């Protein structure tokens, strides 16, 4: 199996200052670079990669270019491995006070639904601090459209927009220890999906 881990909200030439959601995590009245979404998706991406490689899964990290350019590159790389199962993750954290984590999948993808469900189950096993984890279908015409555009155009890999935490609600999990738990939950779900959804 091959997994593409795309650290979004960073490396976009036309949005060079984009860092995603921001929250004053230490409540000192100012926000610093370590309090941004892109900082924590970096930690999570590396930890998730390590868990997957340890399990024998191949990983290709991506962190530069427009989302369209990244998706095009993922599709090109995928053609090099025609007989391998593939998954793509647009790595994000949410903001806005929600109490749940979410794995968004393309509304037409049954495999996406199964993968999202498996990851949500894995996360639930390791993160009791989060009220619930939801597999959510995304499409261009409703409130899920932003998630949809993070995976739009990804071809053969099963594509997921990963939003496992709210950066403002789950402040105590925005730490190296918290990211390790998220990585363990996500990797468990991915590995189980790989084994049982042939």
Predicted local confidence at residue 12, as pLDDT: 78
pLDDT digits (tens, 9 = 90+) for 38-89: 889 999 999 999 999 999 999 999 999 898 999 999 999 999 999 999 999 9
Under a CB-based contact definition with an 8 Å cutoff, are residues 77 and 58 in contact? no
Query: Based on the number of CB atoms within 10 Å of its own CB, is 196 exposed (0-12), middle (13-18) or buried (19 or more)?
Result: exposed
Whether pLDDT at 177 is above 80: yes
Mean pLDDT of the chain: 93
Predicted local confidence at residue 198, as pLDDT: 55
Residues 6 or more apart whose CB falls under 8 angstroms from that of 194 comprise 1, 57, 85
Predicted local confidence at residue 36, as pLDDT: 85
pLDDT digits (tens, 9 = 90+) for 152-161: 999 889 999 9
Among 137, 160, 132, residue whose Cα is nearest residue 8? 160
Find out if CATH 1.10.3720.10 is the number for domain 2-196: no
| Domain ranges for the chain | 2-196
């Amino acid at each position: 199996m091959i997994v593409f881990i795309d650290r979004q909200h960073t490396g976009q030439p036309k949005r060079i200052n984009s860092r995603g959601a921001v929250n004053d995590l230490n409540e000192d009245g100012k926000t610093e670079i370590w309090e941004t979404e892109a900082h924590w998706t970096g930690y999570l991406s590396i930890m998730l990669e390590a868990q997957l490689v340890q399990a024998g899964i191949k990983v290709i990290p991506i962190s530069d270019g427009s989302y369209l350019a990244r998706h095009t590159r993922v599709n090109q790389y995928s053609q090099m491995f025609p007989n391998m199962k593939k998954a793509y993750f647009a790595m994000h954290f949410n903001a806005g006070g929600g109490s749940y984590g979410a794995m968004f999948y393309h509304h037409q993808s049954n495999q996406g639904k199964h993968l999202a469900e498996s990851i949500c189950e894995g996360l639930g096993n390791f993160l009791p601090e989060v009220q619930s984890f939801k597999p959510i279908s995304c499409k261009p015409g409703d409130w899920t459209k932003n998630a949809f555009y993070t995976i739009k155009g990804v071809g053969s890999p099963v594509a997921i927009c990963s939003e496992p935490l709210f950066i403002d609600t789950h402040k105590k999990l925005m730490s190296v220890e918290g990211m390790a738990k998220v990585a363990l939950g996500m990797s468990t779900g991915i590995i189980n999906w790989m084994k049982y959804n042939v």
